[in-house]
Amino acid sequence: MTAASHRRHGWQSVARTSVLVLAGLGLMLPALAAYPDKPLRLVVPFAPGGGTDLIARLVAEGMAQDLGQAVIVDNKPGAGTIIGTDFVAKSAADGYTLVMATFAHAVNPALVAKLPFDPNKDFAPVGLIGTSPNMLVVRTDKPWKNVDDVLLAAKAAPGKLNYGSFGNGTSAHLAGALFANLAKVELTHIPYKGSSPAITDLLGGQIDMMFTTVASVAQYINAGKLRALAVTSGKRSPAWPDLPTLAEAGVAGYMAESWYAVYAPAGTPAAAVARLNAALKQAVKSENFRRRVEAEGLVSNVGTPAELERYVLAEQLRWRRVVQDARIKAD
């Protein structure tokens, strides 16, 4: 074979290889551009029926409309959200499995010595859905009309006043621990297995007060059975504008809020995360979402994944100090 023939065959080989490479890229590009091309799963690490479940279902409905694919809510409760969260941490990083994270995502690292996942390294933040306050509530037959009354009673009889919560390490527990810490009073914590039995005992007079979610007590406040004294957030709630914050009511520096966010497994392609973030923004902007969460006082503001990351890191640092100071341990 002549040198010219060698060159001709060489160029033909290169050409064939180039065609195969381009053909391969052609097969890959539509697949990337088509994301998502199958239903997604949004794992809720709580049982059906609670506030987080409601938010998740509203978000799933809105995201499905924007993505053009079903977003299936999958409840995986247990171990203080660890079971469902761990399931997502170990799922394929393809953008099709997500988790609805809450306050527990920031607190569990301080409560649990050995988590089966790293909350900062094993997840890709998608976006913060929003934040909502808890409320300090008492029975209406109690003599306490405001936060000052509670503080005076607590200082007059250290340890006598108690507050209920949904369990050790829950937002209701830590909100009370922070209150006692900053106000320099001694309160007795009574943990329950969920919000329902705690609120039942509050209504029955077995416990003195609760730092609980707005959704769980709004009906009793409206019915005149419970009195709301303050909200726990840094700013007044748009849904309850006449209620002061605990900081305004005299507990300087107080701020505790519930929050909801969406995460994917670490390693999820950046393009998929960006698409999910955009869909999340559209879901939260919808009239249906805003109307359904208005009574809970949820302030929705979906930012960037980086903003969610910074927010949760700050939450982890703040609550770690509270957990250590109060010597709180998980059940």
Q: Residue range 123-130: average pLDDT? A: 97
Question: Does a structural domain hold residue 6?
Answer: no
| Domain, as residue range, for 306 | 40-131+258-326
Same domain, 91 and 64: yes
Same domain, 217 and 137: yes
Question: Does a structural domain hold residue 226?
Answer: yes
> Which residue in this structure is represented by tokens 């605990």?
246
Question: Does a structural domain hold residue 248?
Answer: no
How many domains is the chain partitioned into structurally?
A: 2
Output the pLDDT for position 294: 75
Q: What is the CATH number of the domain that holds 204?
A: 3.40.190.10
Same domain, 117 and 173: no
Output the pLDDT for position 26: 44
pLDDT band at 33 (very low <50, low <70, confident <90, very high): low
- Quick one: CA dihedral 301, 257, 226, 245, positive or negative? negative
> Which strand (E) or helix (H) includes residue 59?
helix 51-67
Residue 149 or residue 322, greater confidence: 149
Question: Does a structural domain hold residue 283?
Answer: yes
Same domain, 167 and 95: no
Same domain, 223 and 264: no
Model confidence pLDDT, tens digit, residues 4-13: 454 445 545 5
Question: Does a structural domain hold residue 32?
Answer: no
Same domain, 146 and 127: no
Q: Residue range 160-166: average pLDDT? A: 94
**Burial (Cβ within 10 Å: 0-12, 13-18, ≥19) of residue 319:** buried
pLDDT band at 315 (very low <50, low <70, confident <90, very high): very high
Q: What is the CATH number of the domain that holds 79?
A: 3.40.190.150
Same domain, 53 and 95: yes
Least confident interval from 7-11, 70-74, 248-252: 7-11
Model confidence pLDDT, tens digit, residues 108-121: 999 998 999 999 99
